Chains A and B, each alone.
Chain A
Amino acid sequence: MRRKGLLAAGIALALVTSGCGAVDPADGTDSVANGGVGKVHNPSDTKGGTLRMANSGDWYSLDPGDTYYGYSWDFVRFYGRALVMFDTQPGEAGTKLVPDLAETLGVPSDGAKTWTYKLKAGVKFEDGTPVTSKDVKYAVERSLDKKTFPSGPTYFGDVLDTQGYTSPYQDSDPEKLGLKAIETPDERTVVFKLKVPFSAFDYLAMQPATIPVPRAKDTGTKYKEHPVSTGPYKFETNELGKRFTLVRNDNWSAANDPHRKALPDRIEVSLNVSADDIDARLLSGDLDIDVANTGVQAATQGKVLADPAQKKYTDSAALPRLWYTHLSTSVAPFDNIHCRKAVLLAADHDSYLRAYGGDAGGEIATSIMPPQVPGAPKNDPYSFKAKKNGDVEAAKKELAECGKPGGFETNMSYRTERPKEKALAEAMQQSLGKVGIKLTLKGYPQGDYFKLYAGKPDFVKQEGLGLLAGGWQADWVDGFGFLQQIVDSRVIRATGGNNNLGVALPKVDALLDQALLETDTAKRNDLWGQIDRTVMDEALILPGVWAKVLLYRPAHLKNIYVNEGLGGYYDFVQIGVK
């Protein structure tokens, strides 16, 4: 804390001494705050220059089979083409999937248990070898080997009918293509066989695990040192833990890739750069993009927002993240819906938002799914926004109906190490106190919060934790990614470690199953919306804040915008520097 304070002072002083004028305001463009949200800022088609990026940490892995971070999924598109991708468009359009390596989106059959993709003709690896269906199959196969690639998601292993297949490295098949669940009937066709229907399979086909990997070049854990490119850029150098550079890949063709502008000639990425240094360099124009997308540091944020000359270079990007409070039906009186509704109504939504950083931290949530997720309800059933400080009268009415007109006592859990969560719990304590609901706050260590405490049903019941503070971030922007892990009752394990803190509604489970069978995107999105509304109607979740992050976009950047499908990241493959 002390260090933070000093840091803040340091930066403030540094900015003062540098005259605050590091960025030349005479860039000839009309920068405005949020200029890169919902529309392309400084549109351009000019090629050339070097895009300079920095990451405050290491890059967990550049191997497409071993990535999980959102920024990796954004960046990997420079050097890899998955079967499908989020459209490279600002606003809502960016949340739609479009074919990338494939000619069309996946073609389902067998009740959404079989998905077929036909590859575009003429796509080549950086060495000129044509990409075949086998390269895609091999790529997915190797991503299943969690001993070698432990960092990536496990979705393919969960949905594919693997029949015990673990890894191409243990494969007796001479071509190492022994996985039965993926068929390659010809050079350009890939067929995925699932063990359960999965209507949203295109979202898996979007994941970097489907970026083709040539078996001859696969070096396992070393492959990340030089993944073989299918995208517009290929690796020139790669110094692990320090920096790497990408240069144009001559074997990439814009003709079969309509979704990447690939404007710069060269991309330089520095790793493990101190976060404060990144901010200073962004502000001075010595750096183009902070890769990790965690937003500017708190000290910089305050400084930048307070200065109109700087504020116009910021974008407040919506994340697929919800800060919420769960209401435990296992703890009386929350078995009664009216007592639950009383909490939703009495809560001070404005102070909830303030606990998470105010307007810079997000906006008041009115449903589980944030508005950028296709199918999100976009209504405000409890009038959170109209009565942002809580509706005491309505809450009291519900309390009376619950048989607790004078209120009741219960407990609320939060993660001790998270000051924002603690502030939120204190805000709740205060606002619920106004209607006679007395909250006792209980902090637990964040490392085991889900494993031993809030995510363990027995513990919640035993300790009488009526309210559980938490948050959820979807792996990708769609209803399945956002809802399944937190509202499907069948993922709840008695042993703990749950993300679903206790939403168990037969109707929701049924709707989920129905959605997973619905291959019509529009209809499916409608079902996600219904699920969201059902949980809201049952008052099992008090949505608090749809999180946002404050991004800084140096004045000289062209063709830059936030891609909502990617989850609030600048669309890296479209940015220009000339």
Chain B
Amino acid sequence: MRRLVAAVLMLVVVSMVTFAIFFLVPRLAGATPEDLASRYAGRTADQQQIRELTEKLGFYDPLYVQYGRFAKGLVLGADYSTGPTTEHCPAPCFGYSFITHNPVWPDLVDRMQVTLSLALGAAVIWLVGGVAVGVLSALRRGTVFDRVAMATALAGVSLPIFFTGLLSLSVFSYTLHWFPPGGSFTPFTENPATWAYDLTLPWITLAFLYAAGYARLTRAGMLETMNEDFIRTARAKGLPERTVVVTHGLRATMTPVLTLFGLDLGLLLGGAVLTESTYSLPGIGKYAIDAVTNNDLPKVLGVTMLGACFIIVANLIVDVLYAVTDPRVRLG
């Protein structure tokens, strides 16, 4: 419970800090309200037009009023003029883009399914793959398998996504035509098979990056665990080797792995930025990149908030998970 309250407080602080970053810092750096607004105006807009726009966007108000409006929008929703009518941005109103003229939240919800699909799919692959390789490597320490696996893992962690991503697209999509080109995404609810097929390359690429780290972590953990006394005890009981490795060795190794997994996943849900942009997948990360390139402050703010939420929630879950997976840790 205390953790929950702390998490909510964290969110409030995060919203203030993000707000300050986007609206206070530019002002401190010398930008006038008109400068902020002029980003939303055409090339030949004159001073008068920019002033009007600034007023419409509310950039003249003191910052606390602007934050208040933003916070109020989160809780109660807000109204925005579309010209002939006004549009209601229902709570939670994460902001309203004046460039694309739509509330940010539905966009985020819409993008979420892509990021969720990408992250969860990749997560399953990298967790299973990384851990399996890590375990095998640890058990066959020093063998050719171990060496090859660890070299590949090193490549995995050090090769950037846009490299492996472009390479995979070029080879498997544009040359061999085994997989669809970048930008392909089918909602799971529409057709699960196509969903998986479209996401195969991004999944593997993203999973490769992470699996590498998990393989290394698992291998190191297993090497340590398999030397523990309780493993010897397990063998002494006459347990089959597979049970010894999986039920006893792996189980003890999984706590740090799962902790990392929770955090990684939380971070990824805030947007798999590089993977999404490399494969042009319309997820949260791509949304963030596009918002930044288009200087669309409300969107950037919304994504930042969402990302922060995921990280905070992931932390909370990891704490709980930790307590669940390790009886020696008590929930406070």
Contacts and interface: CB of A to CB of B under 8 A. Distances in A.
Do chains A and B make direct contact within the complex (CB under 8 angstroms)? yes
Interface of A: 3, 6-7, 9-11, 13-15, 17-19, 22, 54, 57-58, 60, 68, 142, 145-155, 157-158, 167, 169, 218-222, 224, 240-243, 270, 272-274, 276-277, 280-281, 283-284, 286-287, 475
B162 A276 contact: yes
Contacts of B53: 146-147, 150
Contacts of B167: 10, 13-14, 17
Interface string B52-80: 11001000000000000000000000000
Given A10-B162, A219-B85, A222-B101, A277 B278 contact: yes
B170 to A, nearest CB: 3
Contact of A10 (B99, B102, B163, B282): B163
Interface centre among B42, B87, B277 (most CB of A within 10 A): B42
15 contacts: A11-B166, A17-B170, A22-B175, A150-B42, A151-B40, A218-B83, A219-B83, A220-B83, A221-B83, A222-B82, A270-B183, A277-B182, A280-B182, A284-B175, A287-B181
A146 B286 contact: no
Given A147-B53, A154-B49, A276-B166, A68 B280 contact: no
A54 B182 CA distance: 11
Given A148-B82, A153-B44, A154-B49, A6 B181 contact: no
A222 to B, nearest CB: 5
A153 B87 CA distance: 25
B290 interface: yes
Nearest to B86: A220
A219 to B, nearest CB: 7
Contacts of A150: 40-42, 45, 49, 53, 98
A58 B100 contact: yes
The 6 closest A-B pairs by CB, nearest first: A220-B83, A221-B101, A284-B174, A14-B170, A220-B82, A148-B83
Given A6-B160, A10-B162, A277-B166, A146 B49 contact: yes
B175 A220 contact: no
A280 B87 CA distance: 40
A281 B181 contact: yes
A146 B83 contact: no
Given A153-B42, A155-B44, A146 B170 contact: no
Given A145-B83, A169-B84, A224 B294 contact: no
B290 A58 contact: yes
Contacts of B81: 147-148, 220
B175 A19 contact: yes
B83 A277 contact: no
Interface string B156-190: 00001011001101110111000001110000000
A9 B174 contact: no
B46 interface: yes
A116 B100 CA distance: 34
B330 interface: no
Nearest to B278: A274
Contact of B181 (A7, A224, A243, A286): A286
Given A18-B171, A280-B169, A286-B174, A154 B45 contact: yes
B2 interface: no
B166 A146 contact: no
B215 to A, nearest CB: 23
Interface centre among A9, A148, A167, A224 (most CB of B within 10 A): A148
Contacts of A15: 170
Contact of A219 (B45, B46, B84): B84
A165 to B, nearest CB: 14
B287 interface: yes
Contacts of A147: 52-53, 56, 81
A6 B162 contact: yes
B100 to A, nearest CB: 6
Given A220-B84, A220-B85, A277 B280 contact: yes
